[in-house]
């Protein structure tokens, strides 16, 4: 994938991070999902009942699906961690459902970036059944 497209995707994730709601953990995450030529964003949304909080990646995918897309090409994450943070295990499985060949890009606020193939982050995914 061309660096300019990744830069635009990361920029959208960076902006989404600013809208995240993370008053409990203080760990705001922004995500941007690329489907074809369209970008869909989401931020994490926490709740006092912590297990019902929703990750930024899943919120971006929900926006993608609501936008009529069903195939994920790439997803970018931005956090203020000291090193690039990959998606959690639950998000990895959800990402797999819509883009097993997707790229995953993670960047810190300082600009440190890592890129993975999703298949390298999900070594033994649950496969979807017949449709």
With contact defined as beta carbons under 8 Å apart, do 29 and 17 qualify? yes
| Sequence-distant contacts of 95-99: CB under 8 A, at least 24 apart | 95/57, 95/61, 95/122, 96/122, 96/125, 96/126, 97/128, 98/61, 98/64, 98/65, 98/70, 98/71, 98/72, 99/71, 99/72, 99/73, 99/74, 99/75
Residues annotated as catalytic are 57
Look up residue 50 and give its DSSP letter. G
């Amino acid at each position: 994938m061309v660096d300019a497209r990744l830069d635009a995707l990361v920029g959208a994730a960076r902006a989404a991070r600013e809208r995240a709601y993370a008053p409990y953990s203080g760990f705001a995450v922004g995500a941007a999902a690329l489907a074809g030529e369209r970008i869909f964003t989401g931020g994490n949304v926490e709740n006092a009942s912590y297990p019902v909080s929703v990750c930024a990646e899943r919120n971006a995918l929900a926006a993608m699906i609501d936008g009529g897309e069903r195939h994920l090409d790439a997803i970018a994450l931005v956090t203020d961690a000291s090193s690039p943070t990959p998606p959690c295990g639950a998000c990895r499985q959800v990402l797999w459902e819509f883009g097993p060949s997707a790229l995953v890009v993670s960047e810190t606020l300082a600009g440190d970036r890592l890129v993975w193939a999703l298949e390298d982050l999900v070594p033994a995914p649950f496969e979807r059944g017949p449709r």
